[in-house]
Chains A and B, each alone.
Chain A
């Protein structure tokens, strides 16, 4: 066994109300590729932010040791200088500079003046190494997404790191490009560079990782040699295997007639050309059911809701029927006219108007439908809002309080209330309980269950696995923009969702 290069000892990182990492210890050996797997929100990114110096050494408990020396990073630059190179999912390139200028950003060769000759030569060597057929002087905007991802890796390599950390590096790559990356990493390993490889793709993990660490709910569950994880199912079981608390309510109910039929919904990818973030997706929502949509972050789940609701329109193709009648939803206004409501994921950004009170926020979607054409019938408005305020049991001094001053759970109740005041037949909810404490979560599950029993049809996107499988009457799973499966009745369990969520198309 080769020597230990990096050790993270007993790392604990707390956020208000949440323990993101709980006494996590991992080690990385010289010339090894360590896979780290876990669900969305398991704590992988937080762990890497500790390692990179994004969180300074005062912001977490525990220690980071590199080559037998304790490290205290005060900035990302400190982490880079000690030889840790982070490569993130999103590519942050200088699009209008050359490849060489992108690779050598803070470390150009030469003293006072940049030694361009050497810079281009070194860049060419790196390009040859990963098989990018491009000139070092090529402007980065001309590269395709795969080449951009490789460029990000080269940028990391320019500092001659001892450790390369890759977070989901292959989401934008084609199969051939994945092969090149795998060969490249295997080569690096032979040269003694160690690598931390974070991925949801089990095939890649099995292909190149020497050992695999499973993280779940901020805890390290287990680290084993890859060959000792007998199969993918065992890994998936380890990733999701938490006990489910009894906070979910699901009344047995029968779904009614179709209320929303979506046919061939396609949404182009916002940053990658010639790719769809939602790819020819079709489904039907029935009256009084809770339809869950599962999948990994970036699989295109939120975009489905946004495109149907008319929030996303550019390049979207869709055929939508509401209550059996074909409708052309060109804007949220039209969606609301057709009885749709949408509780968005980013409630602070899109859920409410922060300069307005609970009263004014709650009545906003219904404003147009209040009696009187031009003027606001404040008496009716107050009565209707008061009903939602009471039904939702919002904890606030009064209806005139600013929504911005409420807790996350109460804000979410106001947002839900504002849609219910409009009496929607169909309600979209994106990550209903994100950032909400456990007690309020239970309130929400009860509310959702009641709504479905009253005949409101709900589409719920959720990354919270236990929530998804416990609340939904039916689950659709997305992977890379494609719908990879539908689960009914007893088939709805976390292992099935996970298997479909990481399915290759």
Chain B
């Protein structure tokens, strides 16, 4: 009789559903409207897009699980690419150039952490301000021009293809997602991150250094922001001011719709990857279905609203449970 262990209620509790269901629906609809959607070229393209956002979404999932957010990711992406490209084109060996980019990303993270965790400024506004400053610096150092002329080795970082099809960034993203999953689900630090996000004061009293965890995660997000800038730069063979433009909000949306709570305390790496894939599919489907790209922002905004509403109802029912 009571064989069915999975009731509808249990199914609803799976956090990743918020991204998975619309993802399946969208794939079905898009492939019906235009069978070319399921073509292997198109699918690999979606994977490529997903890989770029996943590299940012994984560290952001950890940061948001700890109860913080970061609006300066896109700015870190742009600056990271610019610094590495400038260094390399001026004769700095590539590994050291990348190291400089990483340092810049870390510095952005440190600034965020100081403002939010030591001066207790609201995270959204403070990181947005940092984002503005970083964007400004990028514009000043490049004088609004792209930086071309990077080496072949640099280009190979993101342009290499495995088996002639799969872009290497997909491998990077997979490795990073796997690492993120292990950290959050198996490691002591992952448990501590969730405790800090769930109740910072209780975590502090249990002997967890809350500021240290927040600072570390802000730096992590900054570093991966810069690294994604390196990838963009490699992909387009030049560093551009617009690399990553507008991604701060879409990546945050991906993370939230994937099942990570806005207020912290719960996070799922798999959900975030699905969320990234959802955005990639939507962008792609709009093109494949022949809808003007002008609609993109409208759709992105609607998804963010949907993600926030899902988060709201999830929190509400969690509190009632």
Contact = CB atoms under 8 A, between A and B. Distances in A.
A364 interface: yes
A223 to B, nearest CB: 43
A336 B206 CA distance: 8
Given A354-B199, A355-B265, A405 B207 contact: no
A356 interface: yes
Interface in A304-356: 309, 311, 331-333, 335-337, 342, 344, 349-356
A405 B202 CA distance: 17
Nearest to B205: A332
B196 to A, nearest CB: 9
Interface string B192-211: 10110111011111111100
Interface string A372-393: 0011100000000000000000
Contacts of B202: 349-353, 364
B189 A374 contact: yes
B191 interface: yes
Contacts of A356: 194-195, 198, 265
B199 A353 contact: yes
A360 B206 contact: no
B81 to A, nearest CB: 32
Contacts of A368: 188, 207
A370 interface: yes
Contact of A311 (B199, B204, B265, B321): B204
A62 interface: no
A365 B206 contact: yes
Interface string B245-286: 000000000000000010001100000000000000000000
A370 B283 CA distance: 46
SS of B interface (majority): helix
By CB atoms of chain B within 10 A, which of A344, A351, A355, A368 has the most?
Answer: A355
Given A353-B202, A355-B266, A376 B209 contact: no
Interface residues of B, number: 26
A402 interface: yes
B187 interface: yes
Given A333-B209, A368-B207, A350 B201 contact: yes
By CB atoms of chain A within 10 A, which of B188, B209, B318 has the most?
Answer: B188
B265 A353 contact: yes
B321 A355 contact: no
A333 B188 contact: no
Given A353-B199, A355-B265, A376 B191 contact: yes
Contacts of B319: 404
A368 B208 CA distance: 9
Contacts of A402: 321
A418 interface: yes
Nearest to A353: B198
Interface string B168-200: 000000000000000000111101101101110
Interface in B234-254: none
A396 interface: no
Interface in B271-321: 318-319, 321
Nearest to B321: A405
A68 to B, nearest CB: 47
Contact of B206 (A370, A375, A376, A418): A418
Interface string A272-311: 0000000000000000000000000000000000000101
Nearest to B201: A350
Contacts of A370: 188
A332 B206 contact: yes
B203 A333 contact: no
A360 B187 contact: no
Interface residues of A, number: 31
B203 A353 contact: yes
Contacts of B188: 367-368, 370, 374-376
B187 A332 contact: no
A434 B232 CA distance: 58
A367 B192 contact: yes
A418 B201 CA distance: 16
A404 B318 CA distance: 10
Contacts of A309: 205
A311 B192 contact: no
Given A354-B199, A376-B186, A360 B191 contact: yes
Contacts of A352: 199, 202
Contact of A364 (B186, B195, B197, B266): B195
Contact of B203 (A342, A364, A418): A364
Interface in A399-447: 402, 404-405, 418
Nearest to A350: B201
A418 B204 CA distance: 14
Contacts of B209: 331, 333
A336 B266 contact: no
Contacts of A353: 194-195, 198-199, 202-203, 265
B182 to A, nearest CB: 9
A431 to B, nearest CB: 15
By CB atoms of chain A within 10 A, which of B189, B192, B198 has the most?
Answer: B198
Given A355-B265, A375-B186, A376-B186, A342 B205 contact: yes
A456 B68 CA distance: 38
Contacts of B266: 355
A404 B207 CA distance: 21
B186 to A, nearest CB: 5
A333 B205 CA distance: 7
B220 to A, nearest CB: 16
B69 to A, nearest CB: 17
A93 B24 CA distance: 56
B187 A367 contact: no
Contacts of B201: 349-350
Contact of A367 (B191, B198, B265, B318): B191
Nearest to B319: A404
A345 B206 CA distance: 15
A352 B189 CA distance: 18
A183 to B, nearest CB: 43
Nearest to B265: A355
A333 B208 CA distance: 6
Given A353-B195, A354-B199, A365-B206, 7 more contacts: A353-B194, A353-B198, A355-B199, A360-B191, A364-B203, A367-B192, A375-B188
16 contacts: A331-B204, A331-B207, A349-B201, A350-B205, A352-B199, A353-B198, A356-B194, A356-B265, A364-B191, A364-B202, A367-B191, A367-B206, A368-B207, A374-B187, A374-B189, A404-B319
Query: Closest 4 CB pairs between A and B?
Result: A355-B265, A355-B198, A353-B198, A336-B207
